[in-house]
Amino acid sequence: MSDLNKVSLIDTSEEEQANLVQAIPSPKTPVQKQHDNLLDDNDDDVQPHTTTSATIAPEKKQQQDEAIIMTAAAEEEDWESDKKEHPLASLSLEEYENNDPWAAQPEDNALLQTNVDEEEEEEEEEEDDKTAEATLVQQPIATTSVFDVGNQQEPVVEEQLDEDTSATKGFQNFHDSDKIDDLNVTGQLPEWLVGEHFTIGPSTFDIKYTRKIEIDGELQNASAFYTFGHWFDALPLVNRFDLNGSRNSVTYRHRSTSRRLVEKIREHHGYAPQHPNALYMSNTNQTVLSKFLGSSKASKPDAEPCAARILANIPGLEGRLFAQNYANHVQELDPFDLKPTRLLQWNEINPKFKGTSSCPNGKYDSRTGEYINFSMEVGYQSVKYNFFSISDKNPKGSLLASVTAPMAYVNNFSITPKYIIFVICPILANAGGVKYNWNESIMDSFSFRPSEPTLFYVISREKGDVVATYRSDPCFVFNHINAFEDDRDGVYLDMICYPDDTIARQLTTEYLRNPSTMQPSRLVASEVRRYLLANIEEEKITYMANNSLIPSKTSVTTRIFGLFGKKQTPASSDLEYNNQDQDMNKWYSWMPIATYDKRVQPSIELPQINPKFSMHKHTIMYGLGFSAASSLKDGAIWDSIVKTNMDTKQIEASWHQDFCYPSEAVFVPRPSIGPEDEVGEDEGVLISVVMNSAKSTSFLLILDAGSLNVLATADLERLVPLSFAHGSYRLREN
């Protein structure tokens, strides 16, 4: 059993043996101790623990509560003349789909509940007292800062900051609730920004359970914890932000979407998934036999973790909010209360879309209205990647192509108007795929092979066949940026690349909570590469003559080696390929080389472009980066948002605030108001959920995408864990 999942017991004296035995988890940082009371998530009697800068007297607190209620009542009267725009108005499904602004139910708003239970008030006062005592022990730091909103600097005097300002707070449990909050907005939202913004990320890292142990011949209760071992494995939290630029308001609600799974883990003291790719890198704390003794019944909608991506719409599927995972699951959520309502697999839509895992990052073609994705079908001796498309016109979908290729972990791909660009990095199946079929985690089922190339498959969308394959240096990729065709029968592909899979193994719960133990000591730097797949039509002949040499077995050890094909050279001396001399006697030596050049200084992740430039040449790219100070700090994670120019290879602008750590910054383009209104590539906003570690809270950040100046912020009044997943938005007409 790994250190992440082990059970520790309190030593008891003879006088204490009759008492209830409590278990002590592995040694914790002060941040972990601060969040111990969040480990019983989904228990109604657990209150969120936050660190405040000062104690609020009960009388003053009561006056503040009454003021909030009176303010909410006044706003209620103001909205009576315009009921449809009330954020708490009750709307029908038809009204919602016809672009009416708000969709929350009135009984969900805690601010309008005037009958407050006296017992709840007493519990809140006790919690304030406890928090105040903890604050005195922490010895907060007093500071004066300047906050820049709309090019106006507003001084904030004598803020009380926590002593711990690290990012480790972003990897603790989140306390869930069903209430809706009207957030305090500082600054001004753009008038056109009216709609919903959805994000998904971790909610539950640790689950507390009780087990029986024997002490001196007597059975007693002991508490223990199951901890997910990787950032990507934590059970999901979905956030919904309703933004109204005309009213300059933001409404927030959230939900943990795997509540049933929490109870299942608590009951079984661990998690044994019944299908591959369910875990990224976590110890199940279960026996091998348990994986084969699971229930054959279909999983309930909230019993599968879908935490990799959230989409406001998937063409061809009924519903208005969907979450996806690395396995073959699509989870439909109610867009109002975020409750999971349905769980399906792609082969339920069309039997031809069969496979045991899928890609969480499907692509949307706005020209054709198609959503394109693939599922991986593992056979006895070969692996097929089944690419398919669905749309509103064709909800049953069509199988575009079935590609036989090495069994690999593939997180992303790209499309152009003519092609699908499918990249297989050499993170390949172990033991012929046995661990994968035994439902082991992704990083246990696949290993990086530095002696193998990165393969590029060019698939014709029209013909449904592979028309060419290319090779390049081995690398590891989380995210593609974009792909576009040139006028010389070539395709350019932009990706965020790493030298190997070390970055994936650094993002474990243990390393992120204890960054001083991270190995290597700093996050591996990425490169923004632009690959050139040249002369695709000419390379058809080469591919047709040699494609039988491409290994189709599930294990690298079964590959065929030979001396076939022609020698390839880079198209330009300015482009890179490092392994040309070593590769002349390999099975892939016949393949043309995909050359590349480096476009942006390291290190950037979670890239974003204006979605209107998808499949077209783009100039501007956004992403998360490092500030000058954090780039040299061991164990540091991304703490900045950057704007880069892919042509000049320069960083044009950046946003950074001390002690703050952003999650993905989603680009929302400004809508055009007419045929003569040309919207620039960087006209829009970036939206990110940012954790302020110094204040132990988070805020919604809205940046001008051109300058990265702050337009507005909305205080969430709670700490939301950091996320590496992908969000989505849905704009409505003003």
pLDDT of 565 > 50? The answer is no
Higher-scoring residue by pLDDT: 484, 102: 484
Instruction: Identify whether 402 is preceded by a cis peptide bond (ω within 30 of 0).
Output: no
Q: What is the pLDDT of residues 613-641, one digit of tens each?
A: 999 999 999 999 999 989 889 999 999 99
Distance CA 727, CA 723 (A): 10
Mean pLDDT over residues 22-38, rounded? 44
Name residues whose C-beta falls within 8 Å of residue 70's C-beta, 6 or more positions apart in sequence.
none
Mean pLDDT over residues 435-443, rounded? 87
Strand ranges of the sheet holding 194-204, from the earlier edge strand across to the other edge: 181-182, 249-256, 235-244, 194-204, 728-731
pLDDT of 29 > 70? The answer is no
Distance CA 197, CA 702 (A): 11
Residue 639 in any domain: the answer is yes
Residue 127 in any domain: the answer is no
Mean pLDDT over residues 442-464, rounded? 96
Q: Report CA torsion sign: 577, 580, 582, 584.
A: positive
| pLDDT reported for residue 43 | 44
For residue 604, the surrounding DSSP H or E stretch is none
| pLDDT reported for residue 233 | 96
- In the chain, the number of structural domains is 1
Distance CA 109, CA 105 (A): 8
Name residues whose C-beta falls within 8 Å of residue 334's C-beta, 6 or more positions apart in sequence.
321, 340, 341
Q: If pLDDT is split at 50, 70 and 90, which confidence band does 102 have? A: very low
| pLDDT reported for residue 132 | 39
Distance CA 578, CA 595 (A): 9
Q: What are phi and psi of 170, to 5 degrees?
A: -80, 5
Mean pLDDT over residues 10-18, rounded? 40
Residue 300 in any domain: the answer is yes
The 3-class secondary structure across 389-416, one letter per residue, is EECCCCCCCEEEEEEECCCECCCCCEEC
pLDDT of 23 > 70? The answer is no
Residue 678 in any domain: the answer is yes
What are the C-alpha distances in Å from 22 to residues 6, 209, 720? Answer: 14, 11, 29
Q: What is the pLDDT of residues 131-170, one digit of tens each?
A: 433 333 333 444 434 445 555 555 554 567 788 899 999 9
Residue 593 in any domain: the answer is yes
Distance CA 16, CA 611 (A): 64
Q: What is the pLDDT of residues 105-118, one digit of tens each?
A: 333 333 333 333 44
Residue 418 in any domain: the answer is yes
Q: What is the pLDDT of residues 480-513, one digit of tens each?
A: 999 999 999 999 999 999 999 999 999 999 999 9
Task: Give me the percent of the chain exceeding a pLDDT of 70.
Answer: 72
Q: Which domain holds residue 341?
A: 232-731
Token pair recorded at residue 574 = 């300015």
Q: If pLDDT is split at 50, 70 and 90, which confidence band does 385 have? A: very high
Average pLDDT, the chain: 80
The 3-class secondary structure across 520-574, one letter per residue, is CCCCCCCEEEEEEECCHHHHHHHHHHHHHHCCCCCCHHHCCCCCCCCCCCCCCCC
Identity of the amino acid at 28: K
Distance CA 298, CA 93 (A): 28
Residue 269 in any domain: the answer is yes
Residue 381 in any domain: the answer is yes
Residue set of the binding site for Fe cation: 726
Residue set of the binding site: 726
Parallel, antiparallel, or unpaired for β 184-187 and 710-715?
antiparallel
pTM attached to this predicted model: 0.77
Q: Provide the phi-psi class of 395: left if phi over 0, else alpha when psi is between -120 and 50, else beta.
A: alpha
Place of tokens 């091998």: 288
pLDDT of 227 > 50? The answer is yes
Mean pLDDT over residues 254-283, rounded? 91
Contact 469, 458 (CB under 8 A): yes
Let me know how many helices (H) and strands (E) the chain has, helices first. 11, 38
